[in-house]
Amino acid sequence: MIPVTKPFLPPIEEYDVFVKQIWKRQWLTNNGPLVNELELKLKEHLNLPHLLFVTNGTIAIQLAIKALGLKGEIITTPFSYVATTSSIVWEGCKPVFVDIDKNTLNIDPLAIESAITPSTSAILATHCFGNPCDIDAIQIIAEKHGLKVIYDAAHCFGTKYKGKSVFEYGDVSTTSFHATKLYHTIEGGAVFTKDSSVLERIAYMRNFGHSGPVSFNCVGINGKNSEFHAAMGLANLKSVGNIIKKRKELSRIYDACLPKEFMRPSLQKNTDYNYSYYPVIIESEEKLLVLIEILNRNEIFPRRYFYPTLNKLPYIGKVEMPVSEDISKRIICLPLYFDLTEEEVHLICRTVNRA
């Protein structure tokens, strides 16, 4: 069986080194030494001044919305994982959808400005499949209208824009370290910001608002992460370069062998891409469903990312997003992960071509 993804796992003995430290200290959570070490190592690796390791990527978005004090309407994309929208609703704000660019699959900056109202407080955009949004255009719009910018960068570990980590952009950027991501901590996520006051608020918020054993700075939640998750992050970090290199090599085989009529998302200019996914856009939904059935019969399991689009969620008022709805019906991600072999990619390509 070839699934759409498999988690990368380091040599067990490398993970065991950290686990033995945890056993010796008996410090399992609550901002332990491995969590602190991971935050320092990640800042060094990404060349960023600030970040906080949190429970997951969803909590990261919720903390960003809360820390920025957002109210009212937040402009966002319909083409993303459900957590992007559900976090807005969970925090008592209203998602206002703007359609996507048909080439990059990211939020269309040309459509953002017409969606801004006196109730708009922010733009929450997803760097879809690790491909950066039109960051410069979004920033110009945000500054013109006094809006905050949050980036859901869940797919973006290792992606750079204009030579800098994509996490550096926006008022707050968030990511996921879920096991399906190319870099993971089993479960986990992170929040990035250049604003030290926002970082301080999030630091309090992720720990129930504690400012001391019996004092509280603000309302908070349990957004901390454990020593065991930090241990996996530390063990995996040294392999990130090889992981991205392997995914790039496999993607190049797909590029060369798949049918030329398959469309691929266009990368944003000035991007160093991380090859986090391999999405392809098929001519029609009917052909896509036939292809999935044939692949499944051959024990190959792609996945429909992202279907249906978020404007179809039952708790969202009805709104039409024609580009996003069209793309979502015709796009799948083919298997891509570190342990996938070149032979398996050739097998997938042969199966697709026969179909």
Q: For the whole model, what pTM was predicted?
A: 0.96
Instruction: Report mean pLDDT in 10-residue bins for the chain, 355 residues.
Output: 97 98 97 98 97 98 98 98 98 98 97 97 98 98 98 98 98 98 98 96 94 90 97 98 98 96 96 98 97 98 96 93 98 98 98 94
Place of tokens 């390509």: 349
| Cα 248 from Cα 277, distance rounded (Å) | 10
Q: What is the pLDDT of residue 271?
A: 98
| 202 contacts 64 by C-beta, under 8 angstroms | yes
In which element (H, E) is residue 174 found?
Answer: strand 172-176
CB-CB neighbours of 94 under 10 Å: 16
Tell me, what's the pLDDT at 241?
A: 97
What domains appear along the chain, each with residue ranges and CATH number?
12-99+106-237 (3.40.640.10), 240-354 (3.90.1150.10)
For position 318, what pLDDT does the model report? 85
Is residue 329 helix, strand or coil? helix
CB of 176 within 8 A of CB of 151? Answer: no
pLDDT score of 274: 98
